[in-house]
Amino acid sequence: MKTLDDLVAELDGDPAKGRCVFVRADLNVPLDGTTITDDGRIRASVPTLQRLRDAGARVVVAAHLGRPKPGADNSKYSLGPVASRLGELLGTDVALVQHGEEAKAAVDRLTSGGVVLLENIRFDPRETSKNDDERGELAGELAALTGTQGVFVSDGFGVVHRKQASVYDLARELPAYAGELVLTEVEVLRKLTHDPERPYAVVLGGSKVSDKLQVIESLLPQVDSLLVGGGMCFTFLAAQGLGVGDSLLEEDQINSCRRLLESGKVVLPVDVVVADDFSAEANTRTVPVEKIPDGWKGLDIGPESVAAFAQVLASAKTVFWNGPMGVFELAPFAEGTRGVAQAIVDTTAGKGDGTIGFSVVGGGDSAAAVRALGLPEDGFSHISTGGGASLEYLEGKVLPGIAVLEERK
């Protein structure tokens, strides 16, 4: 696929500076009202945008936030706070503009190095339409913003697994290039799937086995150890015949978990933190997994589990982690995630320079946990911006936003 390096070389050789570049970024950050609680994805977008600015491009950025619904009051999904933060990081004003005539006028006013951000692209239902013609129509309108010499840069790795107008169809309307972020993410995932250094350990958490079943089935033949925490561990424990109290349980997945356990590679918690309510003020206790009380729910893995997981990770040369070990957002249930993450940092795979090992945080809640719990980001070789996209790549699925870039080479 063509890369940002290729595009920058073209821009640097263009005496008529100021070509318009349309960038699809992933700026889908968590908000508390209008306050951004984790700006990791915005910061990850800056290198590509800054390189384009330095090359004299006029930059139009599209992104989404949340899942707005047609006809509803979607004001809480406005990219206004994102535009402000992006401007701070770039050191320039970033105007937030509505689609249509306002966007066209704003783009026409841009000078070399200028940036505008389109309002939430998902406010237009054609962005996520299953109808090819509807998506194509929107892509044509977006392409028209860039003029006759416009180009497209795909830099939103968190959405490349979606066949959407600004991700897939726009790449067929304009000359298309992979941004720095997308290129890095693909290189990292290829390293995980093509002859990783061993031992190779995968740590999976999160709520449901059903959400991760396909990736587990794909990874098991490739890995040496699969460590399972989070809410999903209780279905595995139930598959061993243990009672799990009121913990999260997917009864329809018990047989699948029993089959996966036959591999001999799955490592489960030996103790858990249980609570009598789902709240930070609940009564809690730490119990062995075979002694979860009726009426109590497991909300984190316990210290003995952290130590057991750390022992496996201590010898790992490659580590992939996706999903928290507990409800880390609530202080009483954060220590399992913190402990396992710290164990990854402490392994040879977590030194951050990739020379004596390789560790990857698989985006989503895991990346948010690293920052929320104050863990050193440079203690990992790579922190992904795309949880769902990373998992689908590891499952062996075709990612439409990557496939279209490879087609256009």
Give the residue ranges of the annotated binding site: 26-28, 41, 64-67, 122, 162, 212, 298, 329, 363-366
- CA nearest neighbour of 1 among 155, 153, 177, 158: 177
Alpha-carbon dihedral sign for residues 225, 226, 230, 235: negative
- CA nearest neighbour of 386 among 67, 64, 159, 121: 159
Element (H, E) at 274: strand 271-275
Q: Which of 17, 43, 172, 208 is catalytic?
A: 208
Cβ distance 357 to 378 under 8 Å?
no
Give the CA distances from residue 388 to residues 97, 211, 215, 371, 391, in Å, rounded to whole numbers and listed in that order: 28, 10, 11, 19, 5
**Locus of tokens 């968190």:** 158
Beta bridge partners of residue 304, listed in sequence order: none
> CA 381, CA 383: separation in Å to the nearest integer?
7
Residue 163 is a catalytic residue: no
E-strand stretches of 236-283 = 266-267, 271-275
Residue 41 is a catalytic residue: yes
Q: Which two tokens stand for residue 152?
A: 């497209």
Residue 208 is a catalytic residue: yes
> CA 230, CA 240: separation in Å to the nearest integer?
17
Q: Which two tokens stand for residue 398?
A: 């075709």
> CA 123, CA 28: separation in Å to the nearest integer?
14
Count the neighbouring beta carbons within 10 Å of the beta carbon of residue 398: 10
**Locus of tokens 């030996």:** 270
Q: Which of 56, 388, 397, 408 is catalytic?
A: 388
Q: Which of 302, 364, 379, 401 is catalytic?
A: 364
Q: Which of 19, 24, 40, 41 is catalytic?
A: 41
Show the CA angle centred on residue 293, arms to residues 290 and 298, nearest 5°. 80
The pairing of beta strand 31-32 with beta strand 35-36: antiparallel
Q: Which two tokens stand for residue 96?
A: 């937030």
Annotated binding site for substrate, which residues? 26-28, 41, 64-67, 122, 162
Half-sphere exposure of 116 (CA within 13 A, CB side): 24
Residues in the chain: 409
Q: Residues with catalytic annotation?
A: 41, 208, 364, 388
